[in-house]
A and B are shown apart, each in its own frame.
Chain A
Amino acid sequence: MSTLLEVKDLKVAYGGIHAVKGIDLEVKQGELVALIGANGAGKTTTLKTLMGMVKPAGGEIVFDGKSTTKLAAHDYVKQGLVMVPEGRGIFSRLTVEENLLMGAYSRNDKADILHDMERVYHLFPRLKERYKQLAGTLSGGEQQMVAIGRAMLSRPKLLLLDEPSMGLAPIIVQKIFEIIKMIAAEGVTMLLVEQNAKLALQTADRGYVMESGKVTFSDKASALLANEKVQQAYLGE
């Protein structure tokens, strides 16, 4: 398997505060990798830096063989690096259909876009029922579906998911994770940032555990689930 994303010694600072203190991270083609950790461990900061929304203080990010440091924020999508933001970030006054089309903003292939729309509607029949509805009038779970569907329409090489379980009822969270598995099964490479460590590790192939700006463990997801220290600190066992 070839390496799709490689992060070397990444450091990020807000003013004088070092949020990320030199981490190494790797995502291979076709993998589903989880990044877990407590609040304030630097997970979201890491994702934001990967998407160019925060400038790193040091280190290197190589995506698909190229360094991303020179890219403008709006160029990431074209490179195939797509994020489903925390809190979903959908356009509430656009319809479901228009939201999905925003995902395809950087693409010109009309027929392919239509085909991908159908695929998303197949994954989320709920969205097909409501395609003319304003996205802001949907429930939280449905909005998360819109956000994921929209990202799918960007044809991501690597999909970054930031806290997909946030603010959702447990039963909906289960459903969202089932969909994440389905998307992974289609061959989409994913990096999943999640506070719900157990669910994330059950879904992922590999995992990284972050603690106050550093990676403390990295292993196969099943191994992390079995690791005593991880269990104590993050799995509540």
Chain B
Amino acid sequence: MNALLMENNRKNTILLAVLAVVLAVLPWALGGFFENGNSWLRAVDFALLYIMLALGLNIVVGYAGLLDLGYIAFYAVGAYLFAILNSPHLQAVLPAWLSHPPFLVMMILAAVVAGIFGVLLGSPTLKLRGDYLAIVTLGFGEIVRIFMNNLDRPVNITNGPQGINNIDPVQIGGYDFGRPIEFLGLTFEKIHLYYYLILAFCVLIIFVSVRLQNSRIGRAWVAIREDEIAANAMGINTRNVKLLAFAMGASFGGVSGALFASFQGFVSPESFVLMESIMVLCMVVLGGMGNIPGVILGAIIVSITPELLRDIINPLQMAIAGKRVVDPENLRMLIFGLAMIVIMLVRPAGLWPSKRRRAELKPKTKDIALQEKDSLQDAERNHD
């Protein structure tokens, strides 16, 4: 038993080490394999941002069972906060101590402010569940987007539909992430630097997610999803614990949004439409609600597949039909949509479901019947 455990541990360590090496050399490998390696790396950077978003939504939807269709609003809050504090747009009115805060302070600020917005969304919806909650959150997401779109008057805060431009890249320890850095004879361009930066935050968020899952709070979330009244009777303050789920989920979104704004150098309300919320929800559901590796897989697949199809679909169409039958852009989304339908039909609990979800969707009725008989016999034996 112990030897097996150690063997398992060693396997895991080796697996992690291999994964770390792969992730470390990935940008250079992409550059080596593909002519347009940088556009692939860009797709990977976005996939990492989506992993953070999906893990944040996973707390709200997967753990606490609160269906949130406006999640992208928190991404927007983080992004706009970063944009406003780190661009020339409001420089004239911002107090000096608030403009261009140090990087870590900025990230904590993004997490906290987004978390406050999470509580703001959470508090009026505490009594709602399921469909009703979904509609309120959908409204919330739209309200935030519409505010971003219209807050250029009477006082110009968000610069309206034009969005905020010229957002400064982050500066860490005197290094400007907007300029290439020479290190160990390698040139790290902006896209490489951001890859490592986003990866670092991604790892941090995965770590926090794992710790949360196996914590007292994590169990309380699942208990609330299961049976709110029973959870209350266990001494769980359901109101606070639900608000905490909203706040934690939102703070992940805020961090991701801030990184997005600095990476992109530009934010506009267009990036935070309802479709984005739906996509993040798709990642969570398709990957496997409540299961961290599943959610990560879902985020990678949903964010990378359209990019993959972009490169594959037209040559494929030409090879099969010999001419352009359908507009490649439409065909790409058509196939993507079809693939999602097929996956959900074949694996309704997601690609990599958690043990809990699997049990819920496929109760082992046969086993239960057997056990019932078992414990009957047991009781009989003990009774005699």
Any chain B CB within 8 A of the CB of A19? no
Residues in A with CB closer than 8 Å to B237 are: 72, 74
Measured CB to CB, the closest approach of chain B to A80, in angstroms, equals: 11
In angstroms, Cα B233 to Cα A74, docked, is 6
**Residue-by-residue, is B220-254 near A (CB-CB < 8 Å gives 1, otherwise 0)?**
10110111011111111110000000000000000
- Report how many residues on chain A are interfacial, defined by Cβ distance under 8 Å: 39
Residues in A with CB closer than 8 Å to B220 are: 102, 105
In angstroms, Cα B15 to Cα A67, docked, is 58
In angstroms, Cα B363 to Cα A134, docked, is 10
A89→B227 contact, CB < 8 A: yes
B375→A141 contact, CB < 8 A: yes
Any chain A CB within 8 A of the CB of B216? yes
- Report how many residues on chain B are interfacial, defined by Cβ distance under 8 Å: 36
Quick one: which of B325-384 are within 8 Å of A by CB? 355-356, 359-360, 363-364, 367-368, 371-372, 374-376, 378-380, 382-383
In angstroms, Cα B230 to Cα A150, docked, is 11
B379→A172 contact, CB < 8 A: yes
Identity of the chain A residue whose Cβ is nearest the Cβ of B356 in the assembled complex: A93
Any chain B CB within 8 A of the CB of A76? yes
Any chain A CB within 8 A of the CB of B179? no
Measured CB to CB, the closest approach of chain A to B364, in angstroms, equals: 6
In angstroms, Cα B332 to Cα A183, docked, is 65
Any chain B CB within 8 A of the CB of A115? no
Residues in B with CB closer than 8 Å to A103 are: 234
Measured CB to CB, the closest approach of chain A to B61, in angstroms, equals: 15
Quick one: which of A160-205 are within 8 Å of B by CB? 169, 171-172, 174-175
For A93, A139, A169, A175, which residue has the most chain B Cβ atoms within 10 angstroms? A93
Any chain B CB within 8 A of the CB of A235? no
Measured CB to CB, the closest approach of chain A to B1, in angstroms, equals: 14
Indicate whether A126 sits within 8 Å of B363 (C-beta atoms), given known contacts A77-B233, A137-B368.
Answer: no
**Residue-by-residue, is A132-160 near B (CB-CB < 8 Å gives 1, otherwise 0)?**
00101111111000000010001000000
For B216, B227, B234, B363, which residue has the most chain A Cβ atoms within 10 angstroms? B234
In angstroms, Cα B372 to Cα A92, docked, is 16
In angstroms, Cα B239 to Cα A217, docked, is 41
In angstroms, Cα B191 to Cα A56, docked, is 65
A-B residue pair count with CB separations less than 8 angstroms: 110
Residues in B with CB closer than 8 Å to A223 are: none
Taking a contact as CB atoms closer than 8 A, the residue among B227, B355, B363, B364 that contacts A91 in the complex is B227
B229→A94 contact, CB < 8 A: no
A74→B383 contact, CB < 8 A: no
Identity of the chain B residue whose Cβ is nearest the Cβ of A79 in the assembled complex: B235
Interface of B is mostly: helix
B364→A154 contact, CB < 8 A: no
Any chain A CB within 8 A of the CB of B219? yes
Any chain B CB within 8 A of the CB of A220? no
Residues in A with CB closer than 8 Å to B222 are: 91, 93-94, 98
Quick one: which of A97-150 are within 8 Å of B by CB? 98, 101-103, 105-106, 126, 134, 136-142, 150
**17 more A-B contacts (CB under 8 A) besides A91-B222, A102-B234, A175-B382?**
A85-B230, A89-B227, A89-B230, A89-B233, A91-B226, A91-B227, A93-B226, A93-B360, A94-B222, A102-B231, A106-B234, A136-B360, A138-B371, A141-B375, A141-B379, A154-B234, A175-B379
30 A-B pairs with CB atoms under 8 Å apart are: A51-B233, A53-B229, A73-B232, A74-B237, A74-B238, A76-B233, A77-B233, A89-B229, A91-B223, A92-B226, A93-B359, A94-B219, A98-B222, A101-B216, A102-B220, A102-B223, A105-B216, A105-B220, A134-B355, A137-B359, A137-B363, A139-B371, A139-B374, A141-B376, A154-B235, A171-B380, A172-B375, A172-B376, A172-B379, A175-B379
Q: A residues touching B (Cβ–Cβ < 8 Å)? A: 51, 53, 72-78, 83, 85, 89-94, 98, 101-103, 105-106, 126, 134, 136-142, 150, 154, 169, 171-172, 174-175
